Amino acid sequence: MVDEKQLRDAVKKTISRDDVKYVVGYEKGTSGFLVSPTFAFTPGDADKFIFSPLCVNNLAVYPMLEDKPPLRKGEEPDTRKIGLVVKGCDSRAIVQIIQEKGLKREDVVIIGIPCTGVIDPKKIKEKFPGQMKNVDVKEENEKFVITIDGKIHKISKDELLAEKCKHCEYPAPVLYDILIGKEIKSTKKEDYKEIEPLEKKSLEDKWDYWEKQFERCIRCYACRDACPLCYCKECMVDLLDPQWIRRSVNLSENTAWNLLRAFHLAGRCIGCGECERVCPMDLPLMKLNKKIEKDIKEMYDYTSGIDAEEKPLLAMFKPDDPEEFIL
């Protein structure tokens, strides 16, 4: 378990700096198993910061959402840094954004937390339906210890663990300024077994599968809004000239949206699973992302969000590339 006192002390130290405007982290939600993103603007705000297995959200989305209104005459822009509490997958998103020059390394102060896995919100709500009172969740050996109304429930981690955590190769932040606790090494390996059944299907069966999925899409764009790598100033679906995707919610336009977004994330997705977590229709969006990730790893031996000094996949050119695909 994370030492929350150490976390809060780190947040207080960070927000007390003259060059930091605020710190983003987690606090207890208003009911049930909710944990909410929170902001510290003063050292006193740090007292509400927590970290538990319920801290699922990828907070790397917040630096890219910051509103920057036009400056008044003679007014200087606020160039102070943003502090950010990150898990392993969150830190990879920050690294990827830095690679793409969406952020500069000096723009952020990163408070890293080695993560041993978070709880899938859908799984725990199914296990404890209708729970409205705040609960306490801790980790003990290979179990989640859940306290509800004073009653303790010990449940195997595998039963509630988010799928992304079952094969996470980077549980410790790959980039940080302050580390809370000790760095941990992963013994897990991404084997892509979850997409093997889909890969073995015929082309017709694959289309039939995705047709059934995409026709359920309601085009709410929650996947886009939760994704830390969807930070374009103007999204392709909002463009009218040229218009890439019509506003109609039907199979054709839904398919165009989901495939365009998946390919836009090629070589960029860091596997945090936020798109799938927030989807109200439970679309298996990570199957698309993982298939592309697997192909990129096999073809180019490339993993996104690992080294801030490395160039993004699609920004690299290797003169010795055999280019066997060119006829």
Q: SS in 3 state form for 143-196?
A: EEEEEECCEEEEEEHHHHECHHHHHCCCCCCCCCCEECCCCCCCCCCCCCHHHH
Q: How far is CA 9 from the centre of its chain?
A: 25
Q: What is the pLDDT of residue 75?
A: 85
Q: Say which residue the tokens 């989807």 belong to.
A: 279
Q: What is the pLDDT of residue 327?
A: 56
Q: What is the pLDDT of residue 221?
A: 94
Q: Is the pLDDT of residue 140 over 60?
A: yes
Six-digit token string for 181: 């606790």
Angle at 72 between CA 69 and CA 77, to 5 degrees: 60
Q: What is the mean pLDDT of residues 175-188?
A: 90
Q: What is the mean pLDDT of residues 202-206?
A: 96
Q: What is the pLDDT of residue 326?
A: 64
Looking at per-residue pLDDT, the higher value among 69 and 135 belongs to 135
Six-digit token string for 163: 């799928």
Q: What is the pLDDT of residue 69?
A: 75
Q: How far is CA 8 from the centre of its chain?
A: 22
Six-digit token string for 37: 């993103």
Is residue 242 reached through a cis peptide bond, with omega within 30 degrees of 0 on the bond before it? yes
How confident is residue 110, by pLDDT bands cut at 50, 70 and 90? very high
Q: Is the pLDDT of residue 294 over 90?
A: yes
Please, which residues bridge with residue 161 across strands? 119
Q: Are the CB atoms for 85 and 7 separated by under 8 Å?
A: yes
Q: Is the pLDDT of residue 62 over 60?
A: yes
Mean pLDDT score of the chain? 92
Q: What whole-number distance in Å separates Cα of residue 132 and Cα of residue 130? A: 6
Q: Are the CB atoms for 102 and 318 separated by under 8 Å?
A: no
CA distances from 236 to 81, 82, 241, 243, 286 (A): 29, 28, 10, 8, 20
The arrangement of strands across the sheet holding 143-148 comes to 136-140, 143-148, 151-156
Q: What is the pLDDT of residue 188?
A: 84
- Count how many residues are written for the chain: 327
pTM value? 0.91
State the maximum Cα–Cα separation within the chain, in Å, rounded to a whole number: 69
Q: Is 305 exposed, middle or buried (0-12, 13-18, 19+ CB in 10 A)?
A: buried
Please, which residues bridge with residue 24 across strands? 39, 84
Q: Is the pLDDT of residue 323 over 80?
A: no
Angle at 223 between CA 222 and CA 225, to 5 degrees: 60
Q: Are the CB atoms for 131 and 104 separated by under 8 Å?
A: no
